[in-house]
């Protein structure tokens, strides 16, 4: 988390140097802007790290879940309110300012959706296959949108700053290359995932109701309940 926060601060220093003229009024406005959004982003990262810890921890009190869900909801509402403020006050810089609001909103929504799915798994209400699919596509879609938006944001900064072969251009280029590579890996991983599902659908027959009943509807791999499953050559069944 500290590495991500440090990277956020360092890039904002580069951003200010690339976009702003050295006037105290603008520096104060941008400093206040990034301070507030940085504060919200730190709490969003804390909630995500806390959620990842809770998913592998047994016997979590209800009040802990309530606190984290409340914090995520407050971050979400604050981000939307801050974006509305941006539209009403800083129309001329809307694209630059709304980037952080949009990515923070997507990041918080992803954590919130995954948290709700996790709580649903704990309560054991209904089959889990659809929850896994919702969780995967929520994570994939939000991560992809964040990467595409970030790449567009860097291109916008480079367009405003121009290419002058300075240290700022080098930092922007390295960040753009990193984001592009992450986006390419994300799309390639999704394509491999879809191909693997397609291959399993074609290679393994579906389990019958009797086979599901014989195994007490428990997956041989993750031990979760199933409503549909595939049969391995060894006779064990698992769900996708």
Full DSSP string of 127-191? -SHHHHHHHHHHHHHHHHHHHHHHHHHHHHHHHHH----SHHHHHHHHHHHHHHHHHHHHHHHHH
The CA distance from 56 to 113, in Å, is: 17
Q: What angle (nearest 5°) sits at the alpha carbon of residue 193, between those of residues 188 and 194?
A: 100
pTM of the model: 0.75
Residue at token pair 């799915």: 117
Q: Burial, 158: exposed, middle or buried (Cβ in 10 Å; 0-12, 13-18, 19+)?
A: middle
- At residue 191, the pLDDT reads 92
* Torsion of the alpha carbons at 9, 14, 15 and 19, rounded to the nearest 10: 150
- At residue 92, the pLDDT reads 60
- At residue 183, the pLDDT reads 93
Give, as one character, the DSSP assignment of residue 234: T
CB 50 within 8 A of CB 69: no
Q: What is the pLDDT along the chain (240 residues), one digit of tens a residue?
A: 555 555 666 666 666 655 656 566 666 777 777 778 778 888 888 888 888 888 777 777 888 888 888 988 998 898 888 778 777 766 666 667 778 788 889 999 999 888 888 887 777 655 555 677 888 888 899 999 999 988 888 888 777 777 777 776 777 788 889 889 999 999 999 999 888 888 877 777 777 777 666 666 566 566 666 667 777 777 677 766
In the three-class reduction of DSSP (H, G, I as helix; E, B as strand; rest coil), residue 93 is classed as: helix
Residue at token pair 């922007």: 172
Give 170's contacts (C-beta < 8 A, 6+ positions apart): none
CB 13 within 8 A of CB 76: no
Indicate the domain borders of the chain.
Answer: 2-203, 204-240
CB 232 within 8 A of CB 226: no
Q: What angle (nearest 5°) sits at the alpha carbon of residue 44, between those of residues 151 and 189?
A: 45
Closest by alpha carbon to 69, among 24, 113, 27, 5? 113
């Amino acid at each position: 988390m500290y590495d991500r926060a440090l990277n956020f601060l360092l890039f904002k220093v580069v951003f200010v140097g690339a976009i702003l003229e050295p006037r105290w009024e603008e520096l104060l406005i941008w400093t206040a802007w990034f301070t507030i959004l940085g504060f919200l982003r730190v709490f969003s990262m804390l909630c995500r790290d806390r959620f990842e810890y809770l998913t592998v921890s047994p016997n979590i009190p209800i009040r802990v879940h309530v606190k984290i869900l409340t914090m995520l909801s407050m971050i979400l509402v604050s981000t939307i309110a801050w974006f509305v403020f941006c539209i009403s006050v800083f129309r001329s810089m809307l694209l630059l300012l709304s980037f952080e609001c949009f990515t923070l909103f997507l990041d918080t929504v992803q954590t919130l959706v995954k948290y709700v799915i996790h709580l649903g798994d704990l309560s054991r209400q209904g089959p889990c296959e659809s929850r896994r699919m919702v969780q995967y596509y929520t994570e994939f879609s939000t991560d992809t949108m964040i990467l595409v938006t970030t790449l567009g944001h860097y291109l916008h900064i480079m367009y405003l700053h121009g290419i002058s072969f300075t240290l700022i251009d080098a930092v922007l280029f390295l960040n753009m290359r990193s984001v592009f590579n992450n986006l390419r890996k994300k799309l390639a991983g999704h394509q491999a995932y879809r191909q693997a599902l397609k291959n399993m659908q074609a290679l393994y027959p579906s389990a019958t109701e009797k086979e599901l009943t014989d195994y007490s509807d428990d997956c041989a791999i993750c031990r979760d309940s199933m409503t549909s499953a595939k049969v391995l050559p060894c006779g064990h069944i698992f769900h996708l």
